[in-house]
Structure 1
């Protein structure tokens, strides 16, 4: 692919060159609870496979809640990946845009991180520092009550479609995605190397050695015990 060379006769203030917008790509969720980690895994895959223009930020938002507000406020355009309970078939994707995003994320919460991120969006609105455009790419989870689990196959397959949709939006926004020319070192990754998808899945303990539903010391007492 050949680079597009600017025409010297064009206006020097052409938006594609001198007024690059800040683009924030945010994955939220918890990789320790199976499909809850969908958003973070999307960010991980994007960073591993693609490079972007300097104004693009890839952020592993995890479950940070209000700590993410500065990223939202500084973004001209915001792309969000998350696992969302739409009441659809597992692995089905749904796109929500602009003013519908904060309302939708608060309609049917799946976990505490969604409550926190809805507050982030509302705070950005109240401070009048809200992105010009917001796109939420959400995936219907199959399983989230599996501590230490990974993405279920149907959700892992949907991740590829979600990335394609996200890249299409980023191209429209001027992010200039291009296949990565070199692999990342462990210190460059947005997620901890110990939690990288392949390593996380390959090192999971057996059913006999690890609790799958949480720490039993803090679980509600079972009837009859």
Structure 2
């Protein structure tokens, strides 16, 4: 069974660096058997690599404005990404990425982390950093939604 963790975001944009921070933490201290891909701000560039892996699960993590308190996490149904008009800082909407992979991946799980400050050269806020640390711990034995509420 192959599981892929796609970490999305821009580490130079404050809380939008949640994904890259998670990728860095996984490289330093791996959790579980995840193949970790730091998709940066252009995760669509990793479609071919993900297709070649043909994962059973694809866990996508990104800072996503959901109107929640900073650092709160939610599982978002990949089919709802476009309808919810979730604000991200990426070149292409994430629903495009999911649509391109749906035939090659058995299960796509999208975890959004509510940012506080997204701006060039801002540091990551403490609530978002704590959320990333919490998510990193949960990767060890990830089951279904891993206790994270659905949006």
Compute the RMSD of aligned alpha carbons: 2.2
1:104 deviation in Å?
2.2
1:136 deviation in Å?
2.0
CA distance in 1, matches of 2:130, 2:88: 23
Whether 1:68 and 2:42 are equivalent positions in the alignment is no
- Please point out which of 109, 114, 133 is paired with 2:86: 109
2:109 matched to which residue of 1?
135
State which drifts further: 153-162 or 107-116: 107-116
> TM-score if structure 2 supplies the norm length?
0.81
1:102 deviation in Å?
4.2
CA contact (8 A) 1:36 1:144 kept: yes
CA contact (8 A) 1:137 1:162 kept: no
Describe how 1:126-205 pairs up with structure 2 within 5 A. 128-129=103-104, 131-145=105-119, 147-169=120-142, 172=143
2:74 matched to which residue of 1?
94
User: SS of 1:113's equivalent?
Assistant: coil
CA distance in 2, matches of 1:111, 1:51: 26
1:75 deviation in Å?
1.9
Give structure 2 stretches of 5+ with no counterpart: 145-151
Equivalenced residue count is 142
1:57 matched to which residue of 2?
35
Structure with greater contact order relative to length (CA < 8 Å, sep ≥ 6): 2
Give structure 1 stretches of 5+ with no counterpart: 1-20, 174-225
1:29 deviation in Å?
0.6
CA contact (8 A) 1:106 1:115 kept: no
1:91 deviation in Å?
0.9
